Chain A
Amino acid sequence: MLLPALVLLVAFTHYPAVATIIDSFMSTPKPNRPSVFVGLDNYASMIEDPIFWQALRNNLWFALATIPLSVGLALAMALWVNGPMTGRGFLRMAYFTPTVLPMIAVANIWLFFYTPTYGLLEQIGGVFGLPSQNWLGDKSTALASITVVAVWKEAGFFMIFYLAALQGISPSLREAAAIEGAGRWFFFRRVLWPLLMPTTIFVLVNAVINAFRMVDHVVVMTRGGPDNATSLLLYHLYEVGFKYWDQGYAAAITVVLLGALATVALVQFFVLDKKAHY
């Protein structure tokens, strides 16, 4: 029973992954210079690579901002549209739209929003007399602008999971809480939040993975610029691997990235194993 899944995993994940780890200790083969064992050279050049560190820093900020924001907003959205709110159908649809719009296309639309002098933000800002701002073209605002797009794209998707979980919670709980005179906040903190824990962990796992996997919007909107201000790890990796064709170095970055993610993941799964009861 395990066999089919295992064979596929080995063929398309482990075998190439092991090849990658081996590559990370080898120089990049060039026609007149075949690949040789170089030990930790690739890792050494990573430590010296300022762009790697910048991408790492950017990515940590990106993760620190997108994960809590998208999960928090998702929860808020789900709580809102779960209750008897005016225009609930519209609200649900509105929150869900980013999920069905392909990233390549929406990144172009967001590009218009951010365009200076006639972009949407500029037109709205103009009405209130705000000064002109080159959102994507300024090092201090570019990363934040990219982050907003990611949060926008993700929150609605995560909302679905929360919404489903909330719908599964028996209304009698709320009634009981009301009879005992519990306030909304108290009810949320003491009853809903613990009940939603498994969903939160599930969503968090996805949010963490996505924080290191989302790169399409960077490609369309800034290509990592200005001056690497929006370069994320995977984007840097893409450049090293598919623009510079530096196989050895790309492999080294991959190994580090995987190592870091695996650590995060193992901790999470350890928690998940303990806490999640479906």
Chain B
Amino acid sequence: MSDPAFQQKSPVVDTLAAWLLAILWVLPLLYAVWTAFHPSEFSAKFSLFAPLTLENFERAWTAAPFARYFFNTTVLVAMILAAQLVLCTLAAYAFVRYEFRGKNILFALVLVQLMIMPDILLVENYKTMSKLGLIDTLLGIGLPYFASAFAIFLLRQTFKGIPKELVEAATMEGASSLQILCRVYVPLAKPVYVAFSLVSVSYHWNNFLWPLVVTNSVSSRPLTVGLQVFASTDQGIDWSIITAATLLTAAPLLAAFLLFQRQFVQSFMRAGIK
């Protein structure tokens, strides 16, 4: 960036367009903030003189044990991600490093999962979980997702692209198979790990139907199921309380993004994902 020509600002048209789009994009959030902090009669009227209130947050907070749900979701997402990274790394490594009969067929079988809608397998998976005694546990929610074809595919792809020379050099130094994995493959695949983690976290953060069916109690239910309190519209929609609950649940993530967005993007950059 030393050339001054590149320090110049973007063209005005671009800036305008970018801002316009950004305003459109935050509109729902702005609306949520407005509605959550005002009494419900102002949820459809925008007036400078509307009184501020925290009552909506109080009602939302008491309507469901959000702290517990938040904890459950965090544990769940972390557990799934950890299991996926470990299991899929091992599987991908096996696909790249070893030759065995039926390898391609096996890999094709793995790919099948990419397109399977887990929701459809609900009844069968529920049977399996009840046989394993895992109904109403966090492990029960997470287990079907531990082996991710998407992760195996991505990692295999990346591992294949790693220069043979590096592996040979490590072998010469007497590194074991596992050591090679940890010292050569994993560090070089970091960008893929970051990208996959983002996809996985956002998916499981929002997953709803399977957790609903397989859980029975507060102690294992994730956030999405908790938010459902406000989503059933049998008695009409109360936007004040929905937005308050939305802000409550999204606030930690939003705050984290605001605080760490620089580091966040930089870690991607350092990882150099392309």
| A4 proximal to B (CB < 8 A) | yes
Main secondary structure of the interface of B (DSSP, over half): helix
Closest partner residue, chain B, to A112 (CB atom): B239
Given known pairs A175-B3, A198-B274, A278-B158, the reply for A167 and B253 (CB within 8 Å) is no
> Are A17 and B230 closer than 8 Å at their CB atoms?
no
> Are B25 and A156 closer than 8 Å at their CB atoms?
yes
Partner of A94, one of B22, B157, B249: B22
Partner of A254, one of B15, B21, B110, B117: B117
Chain A interface category by residue count: 35 or more
> Are B242 and A160 closer than 8 Å at their CB atoms?
no
Alpha-carbon separation in the docked complex, A169 to B124 (Å): 47
> Are B5 and A9 closer than 8 Å at their CB atoms?
no
Query: Which B residues, 219 to 243, have Cβ-Cβ distances below 8 Å to chain A?
Result: 223-224, 227-228, 230-231, 233, 237, 239, 242-243
Please give, as numbers and ranges, the residues of chain A lying within 8 Å of B271 by CB-CB distance.
164, 168
> Are A13 and B112 closer than 8 Å at their CB atoms?
yes
User: What are 21 of the A-B contact pairs (CB < 8 Å)?
Assistant: A1-B93, A4-B147, A8-B147, A80-B14, A84-B10, A91-B18, A95-B22, A97-B25, A102-B206, A105-B243, A109-B246, A112-B239, A123-B46, A152-B25, A168-B268, A168-B273, A178-B6, A199-B274, A216-B206, A258-B115, A258-B117
Interface residues in chain B, defined as those with a beta carbon under 8 Å from any beta carbon in chain A: 1-3, 5-10, 14-15, 17-19, 21-29, 31-32, 43-44, 46, 87-88, 90-91, 93-95, 106, 109-117, 119-121, 123-125, 128, 143-144, 146-147, 149, 152-153, 157-158, 161, 189, 191-192, 194-195, 198-199, 202, 205-206, 208, 223-224, 227-228, 230-231, 233, 237, 239, 242-243, 245-246, 249-250, 253-254, 257-258, 261, 265-266, 268-269, 271-274
